[in-house]
Amino acid sequence: MALLTGKVAVITGAGRGIGREEALLLAKHGAKVVVNDLGGHFDGTGQSRSPAEDVVKEIRSAGGEAVANFESVTDFKAAKRIIECAIDNFGKLNILVNNAGILRDRMMFNMSEEDWDAVISVHLKGSFNLARHATAYWREQHKAGNVLNGRLINTSSDSGILGNAGQSNYGSAKAAVAAMAIIVDREMSRYGVTANAIAPIARSRLTVDATPQTAAGMAQRPGEWDAFTPAHVAPLVVWLASDDAKDVHGEVFRVGMGNVWLMRGWHTGSKVSKKGSMWEPAELGTKLKEELAKGVTKKESMGEVMGGGA
Ligand code: NAI
């Protein structure tokens, strides 16, 4: 059943990996797609038109509608043009998937200012740039009586919601884009918009070339079901983008290997209280150590998730 007939989508970084699969499946479900991709190296350097052009060709040869866009999500004015590309070519915008991404892994003590800025710029500022122009458009259209059922889907990561050594730049941005989805949802639900985030797990340049330590575990084994294909991420995005998901607000889903995890963020595990006089720091420490020893705040690690599978 086609879930997105008549919808128009922008997907950033859709020339490769997870974004490419999202673009192909959204188009298969009837959406007209702007395939944005700068076509750079995984560290954000360089550029090429061919990744976005190739995906557009694939969509068109399967009978779908798509246009390529090669601008960088890091540029605020270019981000406006990416949104306008959808409106100019297809008459409107319903769906924005913020997916473009790069990696520059370093331990905090070795991280250069450039590595920090480049990663924050693509993931956090890039997601803001696109969301800023899309939400302004959806609000303006809603006020004019044109309800577009806008959908914002941000791409977070286990690195942001669970934490991963060597990725303080990336993980900080990925935690922020999950929070951004929750906050924008609160701002935009009155205009018929939903905002949610996904944290994918898949084989792509970012988990093979940029992080060779994860590559072997994600390799496709001959004759076996391909658990790590990025194609497993796309069905969730199609559904979140559809009218059927109109009541899904500010959620974060981890997705991959045939699983979708409904994530729950910061929540109170337990509490220590003292009334009438202030805590002595050492006394407070004793109480907190007792609570921490109960393990109620123990966090899942990325390793547990990958090994756990189900
Ligand atoms: P990928 O490297 O295959 O695809 C990312 C695409 O984004 C590339 O085609 C690249 O050219 C494009 N891009 C980079 N900077 C851009 C910019 N400034 N403007 C426009 N396009 C730009 O990697 P993958 O894995 O498909 O990544 C997609 C998203 O999923 C990223 O946000 C990534 O952080 C996220 N993610 C991926 C995970 C995985 O297991 N592969 C895990 C968690 C999150």
Tell me, yes or no, whether 242 and 276 share the same domain: no
CA distances from 130 to 3, 95, 123, 127 (A): 24, 11, 11, 6
Tell me, yes or no, whether 303 and 230 share the same domain: no
Tell me, yes or no, whether 157 and 291 share the same domain: no
**Strand-strand pairing, 252-256 and 259-262:** antiparallel
pLDDT in tens, 86-97: 999 999 999 999
**CB distance 149 to 246 below 8 Å:** yes
Tell me, yes or no, whether 196 and 282 share the same domain: no
Is residue 119 domain-resident?
A: yes
Is residue 20 domain-resident?
A: yes
Q: Which amino acid does the sequence have at 75?
A: D
Q: What is the mean pLDDT of the chain?
A: 94
Is residue 1 domain-resident?
A: no
Is residue 35 domain-resident?
A: yes
Position 3 confidence tier, pLDDT thresholds 50, 70, 90: very high
Residue 239 CA to residue 202 CA, distance in Å, equals 19
User: How many domains is the chain built from?
Assistant: 2
Tell me, yes or no, whether 51 and 68 share the same domain: yes
Is residue 169 domain-resident?
A: yes
Position 300 confidence tier, pLDDT thresholds 50, 70, 90: low
pLDDT in tens, 4-37: 999 999 999 999 999 999 999 999 999 999 999 9
Atom of ligand 1 nearest to the CA of 103: 34
Tell me, yes or no, whether 145 and 277 share the same domain: no
What is the rounded average pLDDT of the residues 182-198?
98
Tell me, yes or no, whether 85 and 218 share the same domain: yes
Active site residue 157: yes
What is the rounded average pLDDT of the residues 141-150?
97
What contacts 255, CB < 8 A, 6 or more positions away?
198, 199, 200, 201, 232, 233, 236, 261
Atom of ligand 1 nearest to the CA of 228: 40
Atom of ligand 1 nearest to the CA of 102: 14
**CB distance 229 to 235 below 8 Å:** no
Of the residues 32, 156, 174, 204, only one is catalytic, namely: 174
* pTM as predicted: 0.95
**69 CA from centroid of ligand 1 (Å):** 15
Task: Work out the angle at residue 208's Cα, subtended by the Cα atoms of residues 205 and 210, and round it to the nearest 5 degrees.
Answer: 70
**CB distance 25 to 238 below 8 Å:** yes
Tell me, yes or no, whether 118 and 163 share the same domain: yes
What are the pocket residues of ligand 1 if the criterion is a CB atom closer than 6 Å to any ligand atom?
A: 12-13, 15-19, 36-40, 42, 44, 51, 72-74, 99-102, 122, 126, 155, 157, 199-202, 204-207, 230
69 three-state secondary structure: strand
Is residue 3 domain-resident?
A: no
Tell me, yes or no, whether 160 and 30 share the same domain: yes
Atom of ligand 1 nearest to the CA of 18: 26
Domain of 217?
Answer: 8-263
Position 295 confidence tier, pLDDT thresholds 50, 70, 90: confident
Tell me, yes or no, whether 250 and 144 share the same domain: yes
Tell me, yes or no, whether 25 and 147 share the same domain: yes
Here the tokens at position 149 are 């059922």
**245 CA from centroid of ligand 1 (Å):** 24
Position 219 confidence tier, pLDDT thresholds 50, 70, 90: confident
Is residue 173 domain-resident?
A: yes
Question: For the chain, how many residues are written?
Answer: 310
**147 CA from centroid of ligand 1 (Å):** 30
Tell me, yes or no, whether 248 and 284 share the same domain: no
CATH code for the domain of 176: 3.40.50.720
In this predicted structure, which of 86-90, 182-186, 280-284, 300-304 has the lowest mean pLDDT? 300-304
Is residue 2 domain-resident?
A: no
**205 CA from centroid of ligand 1 (Å):** 8
pLDDT of residue 299: 59
Q: Whose CA is nearest to atom 33 of ligand 1?
A: 101
64 three-state secondary structure: coil
pLDDT in tens, 69-89: 999 999 999 999 999 999 999
pLDDT in tens, 237-294: 999 999 999 999 999 999 999 999 999 988 888 999 999 999 999 999 999 999 999 9
Statement: residue 298 has pLDDT above 80: no
